[in-house]
Amino acid sequence: MSLAALCGLAACGSLRPPVAPATVPAAAATAPLRSELGNEIALYALGLIDTGYRFGGKNPDAGLDCSGMVSYIFERAAGIRVRGSAADIARQGRAVGSEALRPGDLVFFNTRNAPYSHVGIYIGDERFIHAPNRNGKVRIDRIADRYYAQRFEAARTFLD
């Protein structure tokens, strides 16, 4: 080690050699666009917590329903147009296994004895944000909660 390097280390109060950086797997080193957009979508969704529910609602000022919330967030956070009812949205996108869910993916439930009658945005840690008409506000729930676990149907992604 050169004298200049030793002096520089001494000025910092330590003579320990630098620690080698941790190795990062190649796949993790180049985070896919899906992760970046998914995180943006999840963060934007969190900003809508406690927004009022309104059937057919497509903006937070008037109130949101589940599909209106998804359309609103995807358009503003990622520039992706997602339109229609929860069932319409379920027919779009690419299927994702529940074990491969990432923030920004959509999760679908049968909540009214109709396939794909409810949609939410996965935010990580087995949680999703949605606009349920029950309790009347945008909120976070867990996919594993009994009510949702029994009604979970599928997941889709519009990312990557």
Residue 27, domain member (yes or no): no
Whether residue 112 lies inside any domain: the answer is yes
Q: Of the residues 102, 127, 130, 156, which is catalytic?
A: 130
Supply the pLDDT for residue 126. Answer: 96
- Prediction pTM value: 0.79
CA distance 40 to 46: 10
130 is catalytic: yes
d(C-alpha 120, C-alpha 138), whole Å:
10
pLDDT band for position 29 (50/70/90)? very low
- Confirm whether 19 is domain-assigned: no
Please state, in angstroms and rounded to a whole number, the distance separating the CA atoms of residues 57 and 55: 5
Asked whether residue 74 is assigned to any structural domain, the reply reads yes
The CATH number of residue 149's host domain is 3.90.1720.10
Residue 109 lies in a domain: yes
Looking at the structure of the chain, the number of domains it has is: 1
Q: What is the side-by-side order of every strand in the sheet holding 139-142?
A: 94-95, 152-157, 106-109, 118-124, 127-130, 139-142
In a domain, 37, yes or no: yes
Range of the domain at 104: 32-157
Question: Of the listed 118, 127, 139, 156, which one is catalytic?
Answer: 118
- Whether 25 is covered by a domain: the verdict is no
Mind listing the pLDDT tens digit for each residue in 62-75?
A: 999 999 999 999 99
What percentage of the chain carries pLDDT values higher than 90?
74
**Token pair belonging to 134:** 């029950």
Cα maximum dimension of the chain = 76
The active-site residue out of 41, 66, 154, 155 is: 66
- Residue 136: the pLDDT is 86
Is-catalytic flag, 155? Answer: no
Is the pLDDT at 5 greater than 90? The verdict is no
In a domain, 117, yes or no: yes
Q: Is residue 63 annotated as a catalytic residue, yes or no?
A: no
State both tokens at 97.
Answer: 């296994």
Mean pLDDT along residues 125-138 = 92
Q: Does residue 23 register a pLDDT over 50? A: no
Q: Kindly report the average pLDDT of the chain as a whole number.
A: 84
